[in-house]
Amino acid sequence: LAVALAASAGVDSEQITRWLLSPTLTLPIALAVIAFAALVTPLTVAMQAVACRLMGRVSAGVMSRWSPDYVRVWLKTGLVDAGGRWLYGTLFWPTWLRVAGMKVGRGCEISGLIDTVPEMVEIGAGTFCADGIYLAGPRVHRGTVAIAAVKLGQNTFLGNGVVIAGGQQLSDNI
């Protein structure tokens, strides 16, 4: 981002070196620093959702804990956790989850998700997920990892700290 910003302003490496040796604060430099600082976090969070999607879909089933497939599961759960630190409980969080690969119905309110692989979850419209929900988390046991899809029906309420194991399907209006 900094390189693109410098290139768009017509700044080359010689000018940057000169400024680093004798720094001065001018209005364009101050605006560039402010723009860079303001854009880093939103762009990073957005790219985390895109990275989740670009890693490809995780298939339901059993895999070795030491396989490349599990590395992808581990990375995706980490990206969901990282995105949630900034967005959980906001109007942007369901959109982020959709970009990451989760099927989220209209009018959902989602707070903190833990250990979730986005494409393993389908959430019906009008569903409310409170804070600290373990949703379709992979089950790691004796060197294997089992992962299965979860489907939540419409107008479902999940309270704080609920654990919904992989393979569960909750009907509407719970």
pTM (two decimals): 0.83
**Buried (b) or exposed (e) across 39-64, using 16+ Cβ within 10 A?**
eeeeeebeebbeebbebeebeeeebe
Contact 116, 123 (CB under 8 A): no
Which single residue is written with the structure tokens 């979850």? Answer: 121
Distances (CA, A) of 54 to 57, 66, 100: 8, 21, 9
Of residues 36 and 146, more confidently modeled:
146
In this predicted structure, the answer to whether residue 5 has a pLDDT above a threshold of 80 is: no
Please write the tens of the pLDDT for every residue from 37-81.
Answer: 888 889 999 999 999 999 999 999 999 999 999 999 999 999 999
Least confident window among 2-6, 27-31, 58-62, 158-162: 2-6
- SS3 category, 114: strand
